[in-house]
Structure 1
Amino acid sequence: MSKVLLKVENLKKYFPIRSGIFSRKKSDVKAVDDISFEVYEGETLGIVGESGCGKSTTGRVIMQLHEATSGKVTFNDVELTTLSSKQMRKARRDIQMVFQDPYASLNPRHTVQKILEEPLIVHGIGTAEERKQKVQEYLEIVGLSAYHAKRYPHQFSGGQRQRIGIARALMTNPKLIIADEPVSALDVSIQAQVLNLMQRLQQDLKLTYIFIAHDLGVVRHISDRVGVMYLGRMVELAGSETLYEEPLHPYTQALLSAVPVPDPVYLREQIILQGDIPSPSNPPNGCTFHTRCPFATDICKTTVPVFMEVKQGHSVACHLYSEA
């Protein structure tokens, strides 16, 4: 078993809803509501779920771009939630993020040289000449050319911009990269190129990934283990093949039944969920999925299911699998 690089314990992130002229707190949006998981060195952990389930917020809280409401995030035996902003800035040398929108995440007024050089300047790495060399080297690594360093972001396609975003994340030689839907804004053919690039870089540079996405096909292609989130909570976590071949949670089963299969003869029974996702500012009591679950019983409406391991390496939060 590889070393645990990142450990998330009982993590919560609530955003206050305020109203009135005095901005009094009325309630909370429970974006991330008590989730726990581990990430092992050298693996890719995929996190999937519908829009608004808290995937991206989880990534941002791990990076401490949002302050956690409660819970612990331990990276390389250092608890990130207790660090000052200055200490966290140093820690970010080892944790980097690739953002979803390659159009918005690059400063349009800066050349690629300046964009890629900035992390090195912030962390005091190398001389001006060494930084210039490293920028050119990493542009080549991600499939661009050294002369692209003089250009501006608007002169690149979406796929090329995302390659620049990946190069920027790699500049400080991080141990962990959090990729927040890095291919969702790209064409399918470009998606494959970027995913193959990320897998090659993982092997060459010994990287660990948290890969956040809503496309289950993409996640299966790149992930070693997959966690499924629903309304701020982790409902299932298992090895990639295990989860796709034997999903245990009714929500995971419904998600997988909606994945298109490129075979006109193959017929898969599609599970149609009733109703809409409840509001994260007012989630249902008990199991948050019980309002849409075809197997819901009385206990689901009152008691929150425990997220527990029911098989080797396969955890689920569902009363169907509890000992009771």
Structure 2
Amino acid sequence: MTETLLEIKDLKKHFPITGGIFGKTIGHVKAVDGVSFSVKKGETLGIVGESGCGKSTTGRMLMRLIEPTAGEIIFDGKDLMKLSKKDMRATRRDLQMVFQDPFASLNPRHTVEKILEEPLIVHGIGDEKERKKKVRELLEVVGLSSYYAKRYPHQFSGGQRQRIGIARALMTRPKLIIADEPVSALDVSIQSQVLNLMQDLQKEFGLTYIFIAHDLGVVRHISDRVGVMYLGKMVELADSEKLYEKPLHPYTQALLSAVPIPDPEHKRETIVLKGDIPSPANPPKGCAFHARCPFKTEKCEEVVPTFKEVEPGHSVACHLF
């Protein structure tokens, strides 16, 4: 039985909406509204969904870059919600993040060497000589020459910058890396190189990944399990192959029907969803998806479906199951 590294219980983030002369709170944007899942050591959990579904907010809450409104985050036996800022900072040695935009996440005034050294300095790892040696080693590991250490971020391509971002996340030898759309800003030809690199590093360093993306093809390539989010909630979670072969939730079925198949002979019906995504500031009563669901019943309009396991390892939040 593989040990659980991370467990999320009923995680929520509600951003206040202010209005009027005195800036009173007049409502809340429910960016994440009760998400629960777990991640085992050594696995890759993919989280997918449309823009605005709350997947990136979830990733940032796990790092406590955004403070959760409610819920539990149990990482490696520690409840992160109960840690002080000092203890949380120390815990980030084991919990690192790769950001979506490889240019915005690197300080343009610092050389690559200084950028990669910084996590080691913050966590008090090694002396100056050891740090510089480690920087050069990790540049080679991610497929860049150690000769590049004295260069600045603007002197690299997008793919090379993302490799630097991955190297920075690896500097402290973390147990878990949260990758927030790490390849969405890259050319398709470069995406596969970065994904293959991440898989090689996972084997070499025994890493665990949470891989956040909106591209279902990319997620299938790298993930062991996949969770689908819609309007701040997890609507389906299953093994990657099971989810792609037999999606249960109507929203997952619609998402997968839109993924192109590289076979001109194969015809597949595309499920076109009617209407727009409801506002997270004013989510609908009952199931959040009912306004766009082709199978909705009266119960869907009134009762919020429970996220439950309907088959071994396959959970879904839908009244049809």
Scaled by the length of structure 1, the TM-score of the pair is 0.99
Post-superposition offset of 1:217? 0.2
Name the SS for the 1:177 alignment partner.
strand
Q: Matched residue of 1:310: which SS?
A: strand
Q: CA deviation at 1:111?
A: 0.3
Structure-2 separation of matches of 1:190 and 1:173:
25
Q: Distance in 1 between matches of 2:32 and 2:85?
A: 22
Kindly state the Cα deviation for residue 43 of structure 1 after the two structures are TM-superposed: 0.1
Structure 2 distance, partners of 1:124, 1:26, is 45
- The Cα shift of 1:22 comes to 1.5
Q: How does 1:32-71 map to 2 (within 5 A)?
A: 32-71=32-71
Name the CA distance, whole Å, in 2 between partners of 1:82 and 1:53: 26
Distance 1:96 1:218 in 2: 21
Provide the aligned C-alpha RMSD in A.
Answer: 0.4
Partner amino acid, structure 2, of 1:194:
V
Matched residue, 1:274: 274
1:191 is the counterpart of 2:188 = no
Say whether residues 1:180 and 2:203 are aligned partners.
no
Task: Supply the distance in 1 between the matched residues of 2:273 and 2:286 (Cα, whole angstroms).
Answer: 18
Aligned to 2:290: 290
Show the counterpart of 1:262. 262
Q: CA deviation at 1:176?
A: 0.1
Amino acid at match of 1:169: A
Structure 1 residue runs of 4 or more that deviate by more than 2 Å after TM superposition: none
1-structure distance, mates of 2:130, 2:21: 54
What is the CA-CA distance between 1:21 and the residue it aligns to? Answer: 2.6
The amino acid across from 2:301 in the alignment is: K
Q: What is the aligned partner in structure 2 of residue 308 from structure 1?
A: 308
Q: Tell me the secondary structure at the aligned position of residue 320 of structure 1.
A: coil
Cα deviation, residue 84, structure 1: 1.1
Question: Per-residue deviation at 1:23?
Answer: 1.2
Q: Distance in 2 between matches of 1:204 and 1:222?
A: 15
Which residue identity is paired with 1:74?
A: I
Deviations 1:14-37 (A, max 9, x none): 100111232100110100000100
Residue 137 (structure 1) shift:
0.2
C-alpha offsets along residues 17-69 of structure 1, whole Å, 9 cap, x if unaligned?
Answer: 11123210011010000010000000000000000000000000000001110
Query: In structure 1, what is the equivalent of residue 299 of structure 2?
Result: 299
Which residue in the other structure is 1:103 paired with? 103
Quote the Cα distance in structure 1 between the aligned partners of 2:129 and 2:27.
53
Q: Deviations over 1:261-316 (max 9, x none)?
A: 11111100000000000000000000000000000000000000000000010000
How many residue pairs align between the two structures?
A: 321
Give the aligned partner of residue 153 of structure 1: 153
CA distance in 2, matches of 1:134, 1:60: 27
Q: What amino acid maps onto 2:261 in structure 1?
A: V
- What amino acid maps onto 2:171 in structure 1? M
Map of 2:125 onto structure 1: 125
SS of the residue corresponding to residue 234 of structure 1 reads strand
1:25 paired residue number:
25
Cross-structure match for 2:232: 232
Structure 2 unaligned residues grouped into runs of 5+: none
Q: Which residue of 1 aligns with 2:247?
A: 247
Hey, what does 1:78 align to over in structure 2?
78
Q: Distance in 2 between matches of 1:23 and 1:124?
A: 43
1: CA distance, partners of 2:118 / 2:304: 46
Q: Using the alignment, how far apart are the partners of 1:166 and 1:15 within structure 2?
A: 30
Aligned partners of 1:98 and 1:285: how far apart in 2? 36
Aligned partner letter, 1:17: I
- Take 1:76 and 1:102, find their aligned partners in 2: how far apart are those partners? 28
Q: Aligned partner of 1:148: which letter? A: Y
User: After superposition, what is the alpha-carbon deviation per residue over 1:172-220, rounded to whole angstroms, capped at 9, x for unaligned?
Assistant: 0000000000000000010000000000000000000000000000000
Which digits, 9 at most, give the CA deviation of each residue in 1:118-144, with x for residues without a partner?
A: 000000000000000000000000000
Q: In the alignment, residue 164 of structure 1 is paired with which amino acid?
A: I
Query: Are 1:87 and 2:87 counterparts?
Result: yes
Q: CA offsets, 1:236-285, max 9 Å, x none?
A: 00000000000000000000000001111110000000000000000000
CA distance in 2, matches of 1:184, 1:275: 26
Deviation at 1:99, TM superposition (A): 0.1
Secondary structure, aligned partner of 2:285 = coil
Give identity over the alignment, percent. Answer: 74
Give the 3-state SS of the residue equivalent to 1:125 in structure 2: coil
Q: 1:101 & 1:46 partners in 2: Cα distance?
A: 19
